[in-house]
Structure 1
Amino acid sequence: MKLPIDLPRPLVRLPQSFWAPTAGSLRGWALASVVVNAGITVSGAAVRVTGSGLGCPTWPRCTPDSFVPVPHPEVSMVNMLVEFGNRLVTFLVLAVGLACVVAAMRLAPRRRSLLVLAWLQPAGIVAQALWGGLVVNTMLNPFTVGMHYLISIALTAACWALYQRAGEGDGPVRRVVHRDIRRLGHVLLAAVFALLVAGVVVTGTGPHSGDELASRFDLDIETVARLHADLAYLVVGLTLALAFALHVTDAPRHARRAALALLGIELAQGVIGYVQYFLGVPALLVGLHVLGSTLVWIGALRAVTALRTRDHLGGPAASPSPTEAVVTA
């Protein structure tokens, strides 16, 4: 008696998506990698706001005698489980990253550009894990904690680049908007990164250190918070300028939608930021703000990559967009 053909299909599709990949399935794994890297930034924030940064006081073991949480006289089991859970998320991120590598290696024809971007993921995750050990060994020094977050941001950018490139060819970069608009996009991306760095400084100065033994930046919280807010205003202004420029030049629809989506995320993030500030920085809103910062970063990456494309090598040249026709006229 034969089993129904549809019965094992979901179980077969998953391994086939990276063992016998298409460009579409590789792109799906890259998007999954973006999601799990965003997720680990949120789980890291949960560790900090719950005071669980030293829940597992050693690394790579959770305690000096065990890799998994066991009763410890000086550490709450709840804090230990929260920190250990964050460490487990690393293995999920690594598994998805390795799936991207396998898919890129087995894609036919193999594309070197995708392979390089795919290998950045497991390499970065290993570096991130080793840096996590440094975070524990330095007793949650705010510099090492901040770098932990920024490494995740860099990994997210690499994952987004893989997602974008998997849907393109390997030809030269071809802009689909006026060159000055594309430059504006690059300035916006740099401003968003500066905003994230400022947010790291605010976090390293504020109350949620991850543990009462952790040190803090010796800075005035009001000053760094205002700097962070000023950068946020700059980012929103640049996003408005980008959205307006794309609208008046009749840029491709996907580019206009990406800019408007980024603006919406930024406004929501701004509301969360102000509410948490006036409510005394409650833990739940801090976690939402970290999630928002990651979404702003992904939105900025999407908006900037929507301003250019690549054609397939040896393929026919794509017709220029209406904007390009005006520029080159």
Structure 2
Amino acid sequence: MKLSTDNPHLVARFIRSFWAPTTRSIRGWALASVVVNAGITVTGAGVRVTASGLGCPTWPRCTPDSFIPVAHPEVSPLNMAVEFGNRLLTFLVLAVGIACWLAAVRMRPRRVSLIRLAWLQPIGIIAQALWGGLVVNTMLNPFTVGMHYLISSGLIAACWMLYARAGEGDGPVRKITHRDVRRLGHALVAAVFVLLVAGVVVTNTGPHSGDEMASRFDLDIETVARLHADIAYVVVGLTFALLFALHVTNAPRPARRAALALFGVELLQGVIGYTQWFLAVPALLVLLHVLGSTLVWIAALRVATSLRSRGPEPSAVPHSPAEAAAVV
């Protein structure tokens, strides 16, 4: 299949973006995958705060007799529509993931590193969908619900790495910041992940379980919330330390901007977190908090990838015109 590069038609350009990809188009698909995976994470929280977790009480069918919503005496039509709508979004996420995979496979010259990263998307999305079935079949067990969120976080990381690696070469890592600064950045990403795990524990201990039949962790909500806040202070402290280190070492501007963006998102997330606590955890603020946690994770990943770069492989460096003529 060959499409004219001069064809301005929107559909043709869309097909070419993954069938005859460029670096720009594959990065565009990877970034789109970050967005849709983050989006379904937030809509999943919407399912929980609207008590629609068992709106479709079976899986893979919505009801025992139908794959699509039908009247059910024990389920609200609204809850069923919310849960089924979130299930449908999985197909959008999968479609974007497949487009990323196609773009990586058809990229020329062939880059094995991108293909490996791209494979994680369709595989991960299918695994996530199967895990979603386990969430329903275990009646929203807090462990399975929490893992559902963390798997999404892993998928977001894979998508971001594809985005970052597509903009680099496959040569050795180039040190654009001091070794200790990079270590601090890696420690920061690890701390943010621990913060996400702590947030999952708080979420699955407090209200908004997704359904009145769902179980909760048998923990003291105030204790786990304080632990979550303490970890957040560590994350903010590490971010401030990284900002300072990048400034005094005169690190490249993209790295400083990434760290500053992370610091700003963390502060906004802290405001949302404390506000929802003092207002008895209203549903809307829970949604904003989940959105904020997802943005903190993406911003932390951006910081990590901004602290290093890769050039082209030595064998991939283009020859001069004279050398190229000699080879011919």
The answer to whether TM tops 0.5 is yes
Letter matched to residue 248 of structure 2: V
1:276 to partner: Cα distance: 0.3
Secondary structure in 2 matching 1:205: coil
Q: 1:124 is matched with which residue?
A: 124
Letter matched to residue 33 of structure 1: S
The percent of aligned pairs where both chains have the same amino acid is 77
1:23 to partner: Cα distance: 1.2
Counterpart CA distance in 2 for 1:133 and 1:48 is 15
Q: 1:25 is matched with which residue?
A: 25
Deviations 1:17-45 (A, max 9, x none): 00110111001000000000000100100
Letter matched to residue 141 of structure 2: N
Counterpart CA distance in 1 for 2:12 and 2:89 is 25
Contact 2:174/2:308, CA 8 A, preserved across alignment: yes
Counterpart CA distance in 2 for 1:175 and 1:91 is 40
Deviations 1:178-236 (A, max 9, x none): 00000000110000000000000000000110000000000000000000000000000
1:8 to partner: Cα distance: 6.1
Q: 1:89 is matched with which residue?
A: 89
Counterpart CA distance in 1 for 2:14 and 2:316 is 34
Secondary structure in 1 matching 2:314: coil
Q: 1:190 is matched with which residue?
A: 190
Contact 2:97/2:121, CA 8 A, preserved across alignment: yes
Q: 1:139 is matched with which residue?
A: 139
Q: 2:301 is matched with which residue?
A: 301
Correspondence list, 1:161-240, <5 A: 161-240=161-240
Q: 2:15 is matched with which residue?
A: 15
Deviations 1:65-117 (A, max 9, x none): 11111110000000000000110111000000000011011111110000010
Counterpart CA distance in 2 for 1:174 and 1:224 is 41
Counterpart CA distance in 2 for 1:219 and 1:251 is 44
1:9 to partner: Cα distance: 1.6
Letter matched to residue 65 of structure 1: D
Letter matched to residue 16 of structure 1: R
Counterpart CA distance in 1 for 2:198 and 2:7 is 51
Secondary structure in 1 matching 2:204: helix
Counterpart CA distance in 1 for 2:175 and 2:130 is 39
Q: Which runs of 5+ in 2 are unaligned?
A: 318-328
Counterpart CA distance in 1 for 2:103 and 2:149 is 27
Q: 1:74 is matched with which residue?
A: 74
Cα distance change of structure 1 residues 6 and 114 upon mapping to structure 2, 3 Å threshold: closer
Letter matched to residue 77 of structure 2: M
TM value normalised by structure 1: 0.93
Letter matched to residue 138 of structure 1: T
**What is the total number of aligned residue pairs between the two structures?**
313
Counterpart CA distance in 1 for 2:232 and 2:10 is 44
Q: 1:151 is matched with which residue?
A: 151
Cα distance change of structure 1 residues 8 and 182 upon mapping to structure 2, 3 Å threshold: closer
Q: 1:99 is matched with which residue?
A: 99
1:175 to partner: Cα distance: 2.0
Counterpart CA distance in 1 for 2:316 and 2:161 is 24
Letter matched to residue 307 of structure 1: L
Q: 2:276 is matched with which residue?
A: 276
Letter matched to residue 274 of structure 1: Y
1:12 to partner: Cα distance: 1.4
Contact 2:7/2:13, CA 8 A, preserved across alignment: no
CA RMSD after TM alignment: 1.4
Contact 2:30/2:163, CA 8 A, preserved across alignment: yes
Runs of 4+ that moved beyond 3 A: 5-8
Q: Which runs of 5+ in 1 are unaligned?
A: 318-329
